[in-house]
Structure 1
């Protein structure tokens, strides 16, 4: 893992998260660098490469109450987002998604007849396992917290009857575009889930970058205002993390709630988006 790789940068950020959580946001640059066994210059350079701003300002995005401030200042009602066309604007790196959903019958067959290609990639949030069909990406998970084997098995279990082929080369253009490394225009998604889950995932994709919403708001938009718990379950079962932005769904009180791939990853993604959108 080189000093220039996204995974290396995430590893530094993940360590910084723990240090800031334990010691508070008022640490100096020298203190932070010393706690992570790095020189101040090296630490500053790594931070700047990853987020484009100073560590001091970035600390503001990593404090525990950042999510509550987001909910207070940047809460986005999905209904407004739909009416004003926000679902297609404000994405990082001019990223636009196209998606189609598998039919309920196909989903019920557990992926039978599908060929799913997979590969490991560096990402800004640590090692990412990515899967895709001929129609688009169908799976993305992060291994920084749960480990590579568990992350890989997690996605495999979702489509038990599919045929899996290791083929990172086929997926690479979509992955590079997804993380803004080499934008090629569009990242197609192939949503494989139950009809209710797909409704929730489509709602998530309408939340603009740098904004958040709540589980109860999503439940209302999809026409099931009392189904908050079911919405939370569907959010947690989102197979295409980051691109279907389940990290932007918070509890009503502004707390982060859960995150399938680990709360440190969720906080890192929210902070990364906040820093890049300047919000």
Structure 2
């Protein structure tokens, strides 16, 4: 999957350049030149990776797009209250179950858990994945912070027995990102955090919501800050789609694994949801 990672890095560079120069309305030529590619090579690589042109991609990360889809997400979340988290609801397509454990429960039982982990490549950059016999328990994206992400992973599952297996990790990542296999998720958090993460699974591909939407969905309209904190503590990136939650203004700020990656994930999903 090395080509995925190299393409992601090029796309990330392009988005950083656009973010820094958007007021000047840079052309595709300028963006391509800045990342060291010809215009046509850039367009070809970009389209091969994302499935759309750079211009279509840029349109999908505008505030106007986000504001339009916030309204859509509100109705989906409202309707899902009646449906619940049953198989008939439009849960995230990649898994069938979420198992939660509180910090207290983990302190009592965590020493018996074996977590296999490893590093591998995904279409959205290098990642660290950890999994148990109950399901995936960690997925964090890596830029130039490999040690930081690993230490975060170790701190979260401090009582577990960790087993490094890069081959198994890469097989997991390929099954998730290439073969779209379904997996259970195993998370550790407070009851509120776990409920917030369950709510995020009700957001389908291509849909974004606000922090207030999630708080309302949980019948805690005054707990927006607590909800935002819970979203920020999500330790299974992409699979629990915290990248789909944005500010009420439509701004796509704040993402544990980088704002450029958040924009890429939202745009990728929105432009491919009908394909």
Q: How does 1:232-271 map to 2 (within 5 A)?
A: 232-271=228-267
CA contact (8 A) 2:101 2:189 kept: yes
Which structure 2 residues correspond to residues 121-136 of structure 1 after superposition, within 5 A? 121-136=120-135
- Show the counterpart of 1:227: 223
Residues 158, 228 of structure 1: alpha-carbon distance in 2 compared, 3 angstrom cutoff? same
2:234 counterpart SS class: coil
**CA-to-aligned-CA distance 1:159-188 (integer Å, 9 cap, x gap):** 212121111333444322321x1234x122
Partner residue, 1:209: 205
Distance 2:234 2:109 in 1: 16
Question: Which residue pairs with 1:10 in the alignment?
Answer: 8
Q: Who is 1:137 aligned against? A: 136
Corresponding residue SS for 1:122: strand
Matched-pair contact (CA < 8 Å) for 2:91–2:202: no
Instruction: Tell me how far 1:90 sits from its aligned partner.
Output: 8.0
Deviation, structure 1 residue 51? 0.8
| Structure 2 stretches lacking a partner, 5+ long | none
Q: 1:174 to 1:79 in 2, by over 3 A?
A: farther
Query: How many Å apart are 1:195 and its aligned residue?
Result: 1.6
Partner of 1:162: 160
Aligned residue runs from structure 1 range 1-279, under 5 A: 2=2, 5-24=3-22, 26-63=25-62, 66-72=65-71, 75-83=74-82, 88-89=89-90, 95-102=94-101, 105-109=104-108, 111-144=110-143, 147-179=145-177, 181-184=178-181, 186-277=182-273
* Contact in 2 for aligned 1:177/1:187 (Cα 8 Å): no
Which region of structure 1 is more displaced relative to structure 2, 263-272 or 236-245?
263-272
Runs (5+) with no aligned partner, structure 1: none
In the alignment of these two chains, the number of paired residues is: 272
Given the two structures, how large is their TM-score scaled by the length of structure 2? 0.87
How far residue 109 of structure 1 moved from its aligned partner, in angstroms, is 4.3
> Is 1:78–1:207's contact at 8 Å kept on the other side of the alignment?
yes
**Structure number having the greater helix percentage:** 2
Distance, in Å, in 1 between the alignment partners of 2:226 and 2:110 is 23
* 1:97–1:188 contact (8 Å) kept in structure 2: yes
CA deviation string 1:105-145 (max 9, x = no partner): 4234483322111111111221111111111101111112x
Alpha-carbon RMSD: 2.6
Partner of 1:112, secondary structure, is helix
Q: Are the aligned partners of 1:20 and 1:63 in contact in 2 as well (CA < 8 Å)?
A: no
CA 1:258–1:32 in 2, change beyond 3 Å: closer, same or farther?
A: closer
Q: Give the TM-score normalised by structure 1.
A: 0.86
CA distance in 2, matches of 1:18, 1:246: 21
CA gap 1:89/1:225 in 2 versus in 1, 3 angstroms: closer
**Cα pair distance change 1:109/1:223, threshold 3 Å:** farther
State how far apart, in whole Å, the 1-side matches of 2:260 and 2:127 are: 15
Deviation sequence 1:176-232 (CA, Å, 0-9, x none): 2321x1234x12211222222111100011111111112122222223222111111
Q: Is the 8 A contact 1:174 1:187 kept in 2?
A: no
